[in-house]
Chain A
Amino acid sequence: MSTLSFHDVRVRYGSHTVLDDVSLEVADGQTVGLVGESGCGKSTLARAAVGLAPLTGGQILLDGRPVPNRGRRPVQMVFQDPYSSLDPRMTVGESLAEAMPERLGRTARQAEITRLLALVHLDAARAADLPVRLSGGQRQRVALARALAARPQVILADEITSALDVSVQGAVLNLIRDMRRDLGLSMLFISHNLAVVRYVADHVAVLHNGQIVEFGPTAQVLGAPRHDYTRHLLAAIPGAVPLKEQT
């Protein structure tokens, strides 16, 4: 349905260049994994696509046209930190209802909330809860449900499983693969966990010092890396090589 493409995107904060001419395409129905070290600008790239980071140069297009940044937006983002991504004063149901593209009647809204919560494996009774009553993993599932509530064409997922339990992470990863299959969603999936990226992404982009150093099909990039930095990332996976300082 939709292709999100970054063309020579440049983001600067003062004299500090965070993204330096980044070009990347998230093709229709594809999940592109974005990996790279902390502070390399992964989040900034995603934030730029939804208008949360100012572009210094280049453009970001959805199906060839600039991403609309008014009204309901076809590009939705799910954030890294489940502790700051839900309004502590709004119930789960209210947060979901706010993101829905059209105003629904009471029963239709209730049904939609139940459907969304079921999609992320939460009980419908949770709709009445405030975020304080949810664990980190549950909050993140609500955040994902809220992004889905907007019926987006592209989802930007920024480290969405890094705060989740392994048991929930498995369910969310399965869910994301189902969503791509059933809803045809295109997704930019940012994660530091290469095993997770390997499991959900068709393509992988490696970001290093504000530039994409390697891009290709997942099996190829992670199986036969061509760039030194990619090899360095692979060697850092827990269990890959024994820890240096371990006594």
Chain B
Amino acid sequence: MRAARVLLRPVGFAGFGLLTLVLLAAAFGPVLWGGRAAAVDTGNLLAGPSAEHWIGTDNLGRDLFARVLVAARLSIVLAVAATAISLVLGILLGAAPMLLGRRLGRLVTSAVNVLVAFPGLLLVLFFAVVFGVGARGAALAVGVAGAPAFARLCHTLMAAVSERDYIAVARIAGVSRIRVLLRHVLPNVAEPLIVNATMAAGGVLLTFAGLSFLGLGVQSPSYDWGKLMQDGLNGIYVHPLAALAPGIAVVLAGLAFNLTGEAFAAVFGLGDLPGGARSLEEPREPVAATPAVPGTVLSVEGLRVTIPGPAGPIRAVRGVTFALSDGEAVGVVGESGSGKSLTALAVAGLIEPPVRVEADHLLVAGEDLMAAGAHRRLGTSLAIVFQDPMTSFNPAHRVGPQLAEVSRFHQRMGRKAALARAVDRLRAVRIREPERRARQYPFEFSGGMRQRAMIGMGLMGDPRLIIADEPTTALDVTVQRQVLELLAEVRRDTGAALLLISHDVSVVTDVCDRVLVMYAGRVVEELPAKDLRTLARHPYTRALVAAVPDMDTDLSRPLAVIPGLPADPVHVPAGCAFAPRCPLADDHCRAVAPALVAGVACHKSTEVPV
């Protein structure tokens, strides 16, 4: 549970503790101290602090400490009610573009933008006058005045979510706009909204105290903290505590809300976990640093990646060993879930806890990645291109500046120079009118163009190693070809090596010198790319190749498929992981896992007819 992690942070612990106390006071205050707070003691009017009355009494001799505790309920209830009003109005206004259609929605959005620009206090006072003096009027005033800020937040959050295809899918399925909002949009924006509402409640508490203090809020005989402060003000020079104590209560309660919200924000956001060891659990034996073999840009030995899961650890990569020479192109093929991407991410140093990366050694461009902080030093010697271009770009920023950012950060280029290079790289990846495209946002690019821009981003530096995870998956043949040619060109010009992950066997054979075939987290075969179609020895490799249709495939027959399902990484079989799907499997295969010997991990590789 992510929410549970909130308590592990000092801020969260303090916030939650304080909030619990405040809420307890609000819940039980009137029950426990109600009598005491109302008891009039004419012999003890406006008394100072004493053992009996800790912070004194008011002008009717009522105990002020009890009154501060009792006032907690009204103060908190009003603050929460006002926040709820803001939140609900904010969600409705923010969702207007979704619910009302484009034109009306835009009108509402502009109105909200104007209102957000108004000073908050001015709005509160204005609405307080409109809704009338008193607790209900004040709650409405504060609630309505807070709505524009929430509306803007909702609008931004919802705009990001409605870009996603599942919203379009739901609409095509005939789901009504309201239901789309309730089922798909709100749950996906709930976390940031709750965080903001919690923090806002702290501010609202203060505003309320202010209103009551000014006499616009709660009226006698009811009282909240603001009212108590106002009452105490008359005697401030004689009994300062009478006015200060409710003030302190406001500050503590406000702090409780803010700290709690703060802690939630840190956990829901990209929060850095305490004690996040990114590699081994036990401290590693100080291995004599394996000297990098000259001419080797990447060397991996015994790489293991483990993901904690509810059904036990998922052993996604189970001991992968390979190396890349300078300028070499190596392809990785295999089914989804076979660990290709995690291998690539581990090599790129991009895996974060709780996922665990272990390796006997992992050297990238001369850096030992198993040492702390190494991935930061990799800088621009590594370029990475991902499969999912939509999440690789920040939807709120223009494409050109996002590319330029890389050079500004790593190569300390000026803004102008970096932007010029970005445009140049966009041109290099065959994006037409790169100057105009650089000024556009990611959503204005088609899927293919986004991916090319992503590759362009990888080429902003001067990489020694390019890791490309399904870079051409979403591209049509012509652009795929241009991109592959582009990658080949970069390799020729810079001598960069390429680790290309692709599900497309023909792409890999076209581009790469060598191919690694992965199954269930292991390399099952390693062979020259040109031999993949004809000389493969592992039954899995052969099945994989046979499953790809080409321009000569027999149309009258179903395509060859590999029977069964890929191995479940939680329960990898004891012997050969491919055994349940392998036509040649026998008892020996099911009992003993074959090792990778002479490029193939199969007990029967010699029996397979070539």
Binding site for B on A (CB under 8 A): 35-39, 43, 47, 50-52, 70-73, 75-77, 79-81, 83-90, 95, 98-99, 121, 123, 135-138, 143, 146, 150, 159, 162-171, 173-174, 177, 192-196, 198-199, 222, 232-233, 236-240, 243-247
Given contacts A76-B173, A244-B485, contact A81 B474 (CB under 8 A): yes
With A and B bound together, what is the CA distance between A165 and B566 in angstroms?
A: 11
What per-residue 1/0 map shows which CB atoms of B519-552 lie under 8 Å from chain A?
A: 0000000000000000000000001100111110
B478–A243 touching, CB < 8 Å: no
Closest B residue by C-beta to A95? B166
A247–B550 touching, CB < 8 Å: no
With A and B bound together, what is the CA distance between A95 and B166 in angstroms?
A: 10
With A and B bound together, what is the CA distance between A199 and B547 in angstroms?
A: 12
A174–B561 touching, CB < 8 Å: yes
With A and B bound together, what is the CA distance between A164 and B470 in angstroms?
A: 11
Partner of A236, one of B184, B470, B478: B478
Given contacts A83-B391, A238-B510, contact A166 B477 (CB under 8 A): no
A99–B503 touching, CB < 8 Å: no
Least CB distance from A117 to B in Å reads 12
Which A residues lie within 8 Å of B503 (CB)? 164-166, 169
With A and B bound together, what is the CA distance between A169 and B173 in angstroms?
A: 25
Least CB distance from A99 to B in Å reads 4
A195–B336 touching, CB < 8 Å: no
Extra contacts, 11 of them, besides A163-B473, A167-B561, A243-B510 (Cβ < 8 A), are: A52-B172, A81-B447, A81-B474, A89-B184, A166-B504, A170-B559, A192-B475, A192-B479, A237-B477, A243-B484, A243-B511
Least CB distance from A90 to B in Å reads 7
B485–A247 touching, CB < 8 Å: no
A198–B549 touching, CB < 8 Å: yes
Interface hits, B137-196 → A, CB 8 Å: 163-166, 168-175, 183-184, 187-188
Which B residues lie within 8 Å of A177 (CB)? 558
Max chain B C-beta neighbours (<10 A), residue from A137, A170, A240, A247:
A170
Least CB distance from A25 to B in Å reads 21
Least CB distance from B65 to A in Å reads 47
| B381 interface hit (Cβ, 8 Å) | no
A168–B336 touching, CB < 8 Å: yes
A83–B390 touching, CB < 8 Å: yes
Which A residues lie within 8 Å of B390 (CB)? 81, 83-84
19 contacts between A and B (CB under 8 A): A38-B448, A50-B168, A51-B171, A52-B171, A73-B173, A84-B390, A85-B164, A87-B188, A136-B387, A138-B336, A165-B335, A174-B561, A192-B477, A198-B555, A237-B477, A243-B510, A244-B485, A245-B489, A246-B511
Least CB distance from B267 to A in Å reads 17
Enumerate the 4 nearest inter-chain pairs by beta-carbon distance, A residue then B residue, closest first. Answer: A38-B448, A192-B476, A245-B488, A170-B559
